[in-house]
Amino acid sequence: MMSTTRTTADRSAVRTLLRLWPYVRPVRARLFTAAAVAVVASCTGLVIPLVLKWLVDGPVAGHDPAGVWLGALYLLLLGIAEAVLFGIRRWLVARPLSRVEAEMRAGLYRRLQRLPVAFHDRWASGQLLSRGTTDLMLLRMFLAFPLTFLLVNGVTILVGVIIMLVQDWMLGLVILGPAVPVMWTCAVFERRYARVARRAQDQVGDLTTVVEESVLGIRVVKGFGRHRSQARAFRELAGRLRGTELRKARLLATIWGVIVALPELAIGAALVLGAVRVADGELTAGTLVAFLSTALALRWPVDSIGFLLAMTQEAATATERYFEVMDEAPEDAAEGSGEGTAPGAVGVSGAATASGSLPVPRAEVRAGAGAGIRFEGVRFRYPDAPPGSPPLLDGVDLHIRAGESMALVGATGSGKTTLTALVPRLYEVTSGRITLNGVDIAEIPREELRSRVAVAFEEPTLFSASVGENVLMGAPDGAGKPELDRALAIARADFAHALPQGTDTRVGEQGLSLSGGQRQRLALARAVVGRPEFLVLDDPLSALDVHTEAAVEAALRQVLADTTALIVAHRPSTVLLADRVALLSGGRIAAVGTHRQLLRDNAEYAHLMSGRREESR
């Protein structure tokens, strides 16, 4: 499980939040209009104290009932106007902000699809899920409320202070007394709350990961009776998150206490001083009522500073977490067309590869020299491997001729699966190169490369879709039932037709409603449905029984006759599918030959095969 907590001490919330501008820019007109409407609504509320002053010093003092009713009508109209304006503001921001959230979520999903496998190896899925759900919800809430009301309340406080100073400068200075300690408290609060908010959001990601893993692995949890230990691990993480949230609550309570208490004391002092001055005849009662009404009208803008700052810090943290993913370099970053960038951002044109080469047209690739798959001095080290550790693959040289099937054999952990993952560029070679028909795969756009290289993994992954949709993922657009039926027949997956809705039956999350052998056969069907030019199979028959394996092998021989294939083999029966066998040992290809030759001439290969024959008995 990976936690991505980073220090926020040197992070500027304003600079971080400005990164949202490309997403907000398309809807800026409505947001600016909504902010202007909110400012007018808030300032409308400040007119009410002036009407009260006129009412007290005029009709009330002059015992004019008609004037009192007129003043009451003015107050009613002002209240209605304020309510209507705030309603308009809400209407203006609802639709555009839901659009911003949807576009950001779609951009994050597109970027996750384009990020290399090495990125997904490092990141916990719960951390990514929390960024696409909780964090984006926080950003929408920030854009809808704190962003607007930090401006609105700031303008309201400024206008209100000016009105109070105009009414009576002495009482105005009394009200302004707490300004300095309140601003200092806000500055301290902002720094501390930023760190705690980041910790809480990272802990939400960790908690999401535990829940997801427990649900997906529920069979293992129940099978080994580990529900108590899983519940204990969940409680520990939930307890840490609760402690962090309580820390946030304590910080918010502290600033709120300061922000509420100091202005209240100032209002109380102004009331006493004002009452004395009214008694001495230095101030009219209407002026004191208007002054105090204005001060009370400013209580909400001042009191809200604390949680507005808290929401702003949480939004800044959410923005930071969002762009941690968006800033990761995608596969073939130079090939992209701006997919996953913010609306309005300029994408890179063309499809140049990371090395600066132009993509190779399909016809040119097929016509290249050196037909087949060739590994030339391939070295590979995982990106997160400790510095100085030896590479997993160290100088692999291997040529699989066009139309040939090559079995790859080696001890557990020798790097067989990693080697096969290099062909479709799920990982990038550290050095050396791999060519298809004489062309370096680094010069072929990934979309083109993966349309020509089909892969079936040892651990089959199925999606929450129908059987047909899962299989046809490996076919070009437009493929239909004939291609589906052919692939199912080759993989001996005819059981799909007997399912309740046939090939339209949904297989459920991870395909867990099917057996391991059924999932593996569907994955194999997905690999062959598109009639690939190159086929990479990672022990595709490991979950099959002996009889099904023999039937699948017979059908596979027909497919392998028309393609160039690299097959990771753990069973002698799978090895016999191939024309030749390569032994991977010590990060290199130690021997190449037919199965019979290697059994006779290579002791390591003979040992591996003899052990596996024993295992299969």
Domain match, 368 and 224 both: no
Percent helix, strand, coil in the chain, to 5, is 65, 10, 25
Question: Does residue 337 lie within any of the structural domains?
Answer: no
Work out how many domains the chain is built from and give that number.
2
pLDDT digits (tens, 9 = 90+) for 30-55: 888 888 888 888 888 788 787 777 87
pLDDT digits (tens, 9 = 90+) for 130-184: 888 888 888 888 888 888 888 888 888 888 888 888 888 888 888 888 878 887 8
Domain match, 130 and 242 both: yes
pLDDT digits (tens, 9 = 90+) for 396-413: 999 999 888 898 998 888
Q: Tokens at residue 138, please?
A: 């926080």
Domain match, 78 and 192 both: yes
**Which of 378, 381, 371 has the alpha carbon at shortest distance from 439?**
371
Domain match, 305 and 424 both: no
pLDDT digits (tens, 9 = 90+) for 330-342: 876 544 444 444 5
Question: Does residue 498 lie within any of the structural domains?
Answer: no
State residue 349's pLDDT score: 31
Q: Which are the contacts of 531, defined by CB distance < 8 A and separation ≥ 6?
A: 562, 563
Strands 405-410 and 534-538: unpaired
State residue 341's pLDDT score: 46
State residue 11's pLDDT score: 58
Percentage with pLDDT > 70 across the chain? 88
In one letter, which amino acid is 237?
Answer: L
Contact 16, 319 (CB under 8 A): yes
State residue 399's pLDDT score: 92
State residue 376's pLDDT score: 92
Cα–Cα dist 557/577, whole Å:
7
What strands, in cross-sheet order, belong to the sheet with 588-593? 453-456, 534-538, 564-568, 405-410, 580-585, 588-593
State residue 386's pLDDT score: 80
590: CATH: 3.40.50.300
Domain match, 311 and 204 both: yes
Domain holding 605, by residue range, is 364-459+532-616
3-state secondary structure 22-33: HHHHHHHHHHHH
Burial class (CB in 10 A: 0-12, 13-18, 19+), 382: middle
Burial class (CB in 10 A: 0-12, 13-18, 19+), 352: middle
Domain boundary among 301, 328, 355: 328
87: CATH: 1.20.1560.10
Domain match, 402 and 318 both: no
Domain match, 299 and 438 both: no
Domain match, 177 and 227 both: yes
Question: Does residue 128 lie within any of the structural domains?
Answer: yes
State residue 262's pLDDT score: 83
Under the banding of pLDDT at 50, 70 and 90, the label for residue 511 is low
Q: CA angle, 29 as apex, 28 and 32 as ends, to 5°?
A: 80
Distance in Å from the first CA to the final CA of the chain: 38
Strands 534-538 and 564-568: parallel
Number of continuous H segments (helices) and E segments (strands) in the chain: 25, 10
Domain match, 55 and 160 both: yes
Question: Does residue 236 lie within any of the structural domains?
Answer: yes
Bigger pLDDT: 386 vs 7: 386
Domain boundary among 282, 308, 328: 328
Bigger pLDDT: 539 vs 428: 428
The secondary element (H helix, E strand) that includes residue 527 is: helix 516-528
Residue 440, SS3 per DSSP? strand
Under the banding of pLDDT at 50, 70 and 90, the label for residue 505 is confident
Question: Does residue 469 lie within any of the structural domains?
Answer: no
State residue 434's pLDDT score: 92
Under the banding of pLDDT at 50, 70 and 90, the label for residue 616 is very low
Provide the 10 A C-beta neighbour count for residue 8. Answer: 22
Question: Does residue 173 lie within any of the structural domains?
Answer: yes
Cα–Cα dist 297/217, whole Å:
56
Domain boundary among 328, 345, 374: 328
Question: Does residue 1 lie within any of the structural domains?
Answer: no
Residue 434, SS3 per DSSP? strand
State residue 370's pLDDT score: 57
Cα–Cα dist 238/232, whole Å:
10
The chain-wide mean pLDDT, for the chain, equals: 80
3-state secondary structure 346-384: CCCCCCCCCCCCCCCCHHHHHCCCCCCEEEEEEEECCCC
Cα–Cα dist 89/39, whole Å:
10
Contact 460, 519 (CB under 8 A): yes
Cα–Cα dist 164/159, whole Å:
9
- String of DSSP letters for 236-266: HHHHHHHHHHHHHHHHHHHHHHHHHHHHHHH
Domain match, 320 and 397 both: no
Domain match, 237 and 173 both: yes
Domain match, 168 and 285 both: yes
Question: Does residue 495 lie within any of the structural domains?
Answer: no
For residues 311, 314, 319, 325, the Cα torsion angle rounded to the nearest 10 degrees is -150
State residue 64's pLDDT score: 77
